[in-house]
Structure 1
Amino acid sequence: MSITTKKVYNMFERRQAIPVIYVRGTHYDVGYDVGRTFASLIREFVNVFKPLNEAFIPLYNSPEGQRVYKETLDSVNKSFPQYVRELQGIADGSKVEFYKLFLLHMDEILPNVVDNNNSMDAPIGCSTIIVNEPGKEVLGHTEDALSENLNNYYFVSAHIISDSPQGKYKVTEERFTSLCYAGHLPGYTMNYNHHGLVFSINTLSAQSLNSGKTPRHFITRALLSAENFVQAQRILRDTGVGAADGCSINMTFLNQEGDRMFHNAEMGPAIKPNDKESQLNILTVSPGEHIMHCNRYLRLKVPEVTGLIIDSSIERMDTFKIFKSPKCKEDVIDMLGDTSAKEHQVFRDKAGEEEFLKTICVGIFDLNKKTWSIYKDNPKTNEPLIVLPLLLK
């Protein structure tokens, strides 16, 4: 009898798989089925994610950490109780404590507010290129994350129907597809909804964050319900509360009238604890134009952290400037697959654990063909793992 040698699983080895769940129900039902289906991925990620275990949880266990956690959870519960229920469903389905998942969504809020500290000085962040040429309308995005995320993500394609209007925007139905990190709500990576909204996110790191405000993960989750650009702006402003932290949102609507318009929105935290609205600056990308964005504020005057996230953003933007202005999808792929930079490459893929951050995938939205291509490897030298159709209402 022959003996087959088992291959030892290496979490830092790039796998050629992205699982997907198609799910329908209430917010809690959808969360529960996501948690139950991907329980092993979620538990593995929670167990190995160093910022959670080495920074967030120890601070959560302090009196000041408890205060900030409670203030933020209470605020989110007032604005978006349906998304708290959705996250509770993920926790129950995966059998992971709710507070750990909520801490993931608070991200750097706890260390920043409690210790005035950027606990994760790393070249965090993604790169986005938008091309708006006639017949060649493209949004390209690298999804860059800590190495622990490399194979710990999945697609959620959800149809959520509620018996009564939900949350501050009175939403009764949501239908979307989102790439999700394990244990996270949809909305904070690459996404589209059945109203035709297509968007991707770049993390931005303001110097001062706020307790008792809305974490960016919940604002971008709410963005999945937007029916038009006016609603999208209202969600990002979060009037009445305001963002606790910041990010950049690259977006367009597939079914808009007239010329194709893309938008890059830089969202900053409410300036003072008593302010009740996010800072927001929106740049429109008209036909014949393009834009590139990484992980720095380019227009909104927000004091930022110092360190590797800024150094990385500067070097990636400098790399883009070497290229001619992008005019088509092939140009975007060449730029997002570039590995020429000395230290902070656009496509990051050093072997093993020696690179703190990796490009876990690349997404190309082709707005003319209405497709979303996902590459697990460098898109310059590989075919996409999957090409999804963008299905509208």
Structure 2
Amino acid sequence: MSSSCESIPVLYIKANNNYDVGYKIGQTFKHFIRDHLTSETAKSLWSFYESKDGRKKYADSLEATRKSYPNIIEEIQGMADGSDVSFEKLFLQDMVSEILLHYSHVSKDVDNTDREVAGCTDVMVNTESCRLIGHNEDWSPEVRDGMFMVNVDLDKGTPSETVKGNKEVNNVFASRNERYLANMFPGFLAGNTFYVNETFAVSVNSLVPVSVNEGAVPVDILLRALIGCVSIEECVTVMKNEPVGCSFGINLNIASRQSANMWSLEVYPDYGKTLVSLREIPYSDSAVTDSYYIHTNHYKHVEKAKESPVLEGSRAREETAGNMPVPAKIQDVCSVLGDTSSHIEPIHRVPGKSFNRNSRTTTIASAIFDMNNDLLRVYLNNPKTSKYPSLKLPFV
């Protein structure tokens, strides 16, 4: 594909069970998935799986997931069957944060000089004239040509129930209907990049805590479950996942479609416990600093979070965005997401343009959720210099 051609496939699915959703994604994007499983990232995951310790951690994570969300296991199995690859290889994709950012110590050098972490940058604006989430999806170039969108109507034929306690959450979500528009990378579940359902728009940032909760459910599995949430209280409940817990850390930036509420949610594994911190972004009728919020790849509101010191670039991106005026329109947010001014690490990332010259992390896409107009814009090139988005879709 030439540099002047911009293309994002969109798959529309109507199904009545998770297996069929996964199968159709796997069947349609079989080439993307099989190609990605030859990448260096996939090879690293498989190498971990082939070790004695890796096999045990895989088995423990799989058992925890089967007990908590068997419907998501069915979705992964469907994707594996549809793309004609092994279930093990796809489940490993959904352990990528735990394996590459912790177990394999990919984010650390032996001399304690930390490497850059693939992460993302989020900008939230909660004002009357400009209510939106802007998100840079930063990842390895391996996935650039395999990215796609899914528009899913999962109707299980059951009435919607409300979660009333931690003990009920798994059963309720297993039978809950879902309607969502999500960005996906090949072989991964929906939910770990950005999406919108009937209640929320959500974007996701990597975090790098120093510990994992052994034997808990992988964070990407819980991110997939989160797509079914219909209240912010459910979001907190799903990410806590009591009594088993969430295995790793993550940041979610959430905008309500039904009110003026916006939140930043941080998940922190604390040696067997899962802490979830929620910070509200206040609404304003004018462009004020309190209604402008930036989140990159370090903890901001979990107190005393212990995290990898691999955060020089993350803090540089936050500082750059924070020094810019409060956005008053969509183009202002495009200018933030497309900024390349930092000599430490630019917000719009290009391989080698960072304090770590060996980094391959790049901005794969930029997304803007326009909450006032129920519209998603996705840019494959720098949004600051792009005349039009590569894709523009209404919310579900």
State the TM-score, normalizing by the size of structure 2. Answer: 0.87
Moved more, 67-76 or 280-289: 280-289
Q: 1:169 to 1:246 in 2, by over 3 A?
A: farther
CA contact (8 A) 1:59 1:111 kept: no
In the alignment, what sits opposite 1:222?
225
CA distance in 1, matches of 2:136, 2:99: 27
CA distance in 2, matches of 1:68, 1:231: 28
State the 1:126 CA deviation.
0.5
**Aligned residues between the structures:** 369
In the alignment, what sits opposite 2:314?
313
Q: Are 1:77 and 2:82 counterparts?
A: no
State the 1:118 CA deviation.
3.9
CA distance in 2, matches of 1:179, 1:242: 26
Moved more, 197-206 or 107-116: 107-116
Q: Are 1:363 and 2:361 counterparts?
A: no
In the alignment, what sits opposite 1:262?
262
Q: Are 1:187 and 2:191 counterparts?
A: yes
- Give the partner amino acid of 1:192: V
State the 1:210 CA deviation.
2.4
CA-to-partner distance for each residue in 1:75-95, whole Å, 9 max, x for gaps? 001010101110111111111
State the 1:343 CA deviation.
3.7
Identify unmatched segments of 5+ residues in structure 1: 1-8
CA-to-partner distance for each residue in 1:183-230, whole Å, 9 max, x for gaps? 111111110112x21110001011111221111111111111011222
In the alignment, what sits opposite 2:276?
280
CA contact (8 A) 2:212 2:271 kept: no
Q: 1:231 to 1:325 in 2, by over 3 A?
A: same
CA contact (8 A) 2:101 2:208 kept: no
CA distance in 2, matches of 1:184, 1:340: 32
CA distance in 2, matches of 1:75, 1:298: 29
Secondary structure of 2:155's counterpart equals: strand
Q: What is the aligned counterpart of 1:24 among 14, 25, 32?
A: 14
- Give the partner amino acid of 1:161: D
- Give the partner amino acid of 1:209: V
In the alignment, what sits opposite 1:6?
none
Q: Are 1:158 and 2:158 counterparts?
A: no
CA distance in 2, matches of 1:291, 1:315: 15
Superposed structure 1 runs of 4+ greater than 4 Å apart: 111-117, 163-166, 350-355
State the 1:68 CA deviation.
0.7
In the alignment, what sits opposite 1:322?
323
Residue correspondence of structure 1 range 29-68 to structure 2 within 5 A: 29-48=20-39, 50-54=40-44, 56-68=45-57
- Give the partner amino acid of 2:33: I
Residue correspondence of structure 1 range 64-213 to structure 2 within 5 A: 64-110=53-99, 118=107, 121-162=115-156, 167-170=170-173, 171-194=175-198, 196-213=199-216
CA contact (8 A) 2:121 2:137 kept: yes
CA contact (8 A) 1:32 1:92 kept: yes
Moved more, 319-328 or 95-104: 319-328
Secondary structure of 1:299's counterpart equals: coil
CA distance in 2, matches of 1:315, 1:197: 29
Secondary structure of 1:47's counterpart equals: coil
In the alignment, what sits opposite 1:4?
none
In the alignment, what sits opposite 2:237?
234
Secondary structure of 1:249's counterpart equals: strand
CA distance in 2, matches of 1:122, 1:21: 33
Identify unmatched segments of 5+ residues in structure 2: 110-114, 162-168, 285-290
CA contact (8 A) 1:361 1:376 kept: yes
Moved more, 62-71 or 320-329: 320-329
Q: Are 1:385 and 2:385 counterparts?
A: no
- Give the partner amino acid of 1:290: Y
State the TM-score, normalizing by the size of structure 1. Answer: 0.88
RMSD between aligned residues: 2.3
- Give the partner amino acid of 1:262: M
- Give the partner amino acid of 1:242: G
State the 1:71 CA deviation.
0.5
% identical equivalent positions: 27
